[in-house]
Structure 1
Amino acid sequence: MSEDLPDGVERRAFDGTDRLATRGEPVYGEPTDGEWRAWNPNRSKLGAMLELGMDTGLEGGETVLYLGAASGTTVSHVADFAGPTYAVEFAARPTRDLLEAAESRPRLFPLLKDARKPETYAHVVESDVDVLIQDVATRGQARVALENRRFLADDGRLLLAVKARSEDVTREPTAVFEDVREELEEGYEIVETERLETYHADHLGIIAQPR
């Protein structure tokens, strides 16, 4: 397991268990230790990628575009250690929770938008973001990543969690993952992939760079 963690992310003991943690106000009932809060990889694909030792390239302080922010479980951790963090979420109900998470995080900018339509938030999100993090439950996940590539710096990085069952519930996840990888290569060079089964069934973590 890699311990090359971003600045602002540490391993700390919570109830005798060694876990990833960030500094910030709690969001989803996670255990806390003073100003530190545990990062639950069973509720966070990015947390799972870090726990599995994937080379995310995160260092801390990056500008981030996060697609599929939901109620803020993961993106709140990201905003604890990153720079400006643009959080795109399509559904109104979780966005209310996301707005609450952002109240104590001045670097977190919630956007009630559809990640499949990046033109609707292009006027808000700065160009040349360092990291594009994607965790969306929709068909066409590779296409979403390709459409949002416009925001990513040439030396930026895509951290993608592919949900096989959102693409096609009838097909084997391995076949779905292969199709997503193939389409993704239209605009990205894939650096690393790993199944997230330890924490999330039928998910693949992909790290890629723009071509």
Structure 2
Amino acid sequence: MSPDGVARKSIDGETGLATEGEPVYGEPTADGWRLWDRSRSKLAVLLDREVETGLDDGSTVLYLGAASGTTVSHVADFAGPTYAVEFAPRPMRDLLDVAADRENLFPLLKDAREPESYAHVVEPVDVIVQDVAIRGQADVALANRQFLREDGRLVLSVKARSEDVTRDPEAVFEEVEERLAEGYEIEYAESLEPFHDDHLGVVATPE
């Protein structure tokens, strides 16, 4: 189910989920609401499907792979403290601009593979949202499990081509799920097509 701070709106002839906040990436807006583009956000696909992600108004969130802030800006529009980890300096500059309009959004120029580098900053969280396009995506989720509350959820977007561009995506997804099972119980795992090719959306709880 979608949080109360995420509503279905029709703006400029387009209908979809929307949040209230300052625009970030040229998305259609009206009366303070901004459409959440599913083709640019894996999380938006899951919320549009009404998958139980654990995200709610006021949730504490750790977002891994925040990039320029497209998706995490929507999250920060309705969530509570939102810690946004991004490794690359160039998108971090854009993310800082996004955070300037959102006092609950905390950008961290860190590597999600090294959670010890930000463990002194991040409090226990209700939800980890992970969109890190690197090899070893399950390992990143396991390494950051330490921040997740016992009743929290991991919302993971697995990009098959980042794991191994030569292998069949289904085989990659199966391998990632097996690795995740070493620390999580998977509640949902479905393709994110047609919006995101060769991506698997996963929701899991800590074991």
1:94 partnered with 2:91: yes
What is the correspondence of 1:86-165 to structure 2 with a 5 Å cutoff?
Answer: 86-126=83-123, 128-165=124-161
- For 1:83, what is the secondary structure of its paired residue? coil
- For 1:42, what is the secondary structure of its paired residue? helix
1:72 partnered with 2:72: no
**Normalised TM-score (structure 2):** 0.98
The 1-side partners of 2:177 and 2:51 are apart by 17
* Alignment match of 1:170 (pick from 158, 161, 166): 166
- For 2:173, what is the secondary structure of its paired residue? helix
- For 1:7, what is the secondary structure of its paired residue? coil
Percent identity over the alignment? Answer: 68
* Alignment match of 2:36 (pick from 34, 39, 59): 39
Superposed displacement of residue 14, structure 1: 1.2
Superposed displacement of residue 5, structure 1: 1.3
Aligned residue for 2:193? 197
List alignment gaps of at least 5 residues for structure 2: none
Number of equivalent positions: 207
Superposed displacement of residue 17, structure 1: 2.4
RMSD value, Cα = 0.7
Superposed displacement of residue 69, structure 1: 0.0
Aligned residue for 1:82? 79
Moved over 3 A (4+): none
The 1-side partners of 2:75 and 2:172 are apart by 28
Superposed displacement of residue 16, structure 1: 2.4
The 1-side partners of 2:142 and 2:148 are apart by 10
The 1-side partners of 2:121 and 2:141 are apart by 18
Q: Which amino acid aligns with 1:120?
A: S
The 1-side partners of 2:194 and 2:147 are apart by 31
Q: Which amino acid aligns with 1:187?
A: G
- For 2:50, what is the secondary structure of its paired residue? coil
The 1-side partners of 2:161 and 2:196 are apart by 12
Q: Which amino acid aligns with 1:141?
A: Q
1:179 partnered with 2:179: no
Aligned residue for 1:21? 18
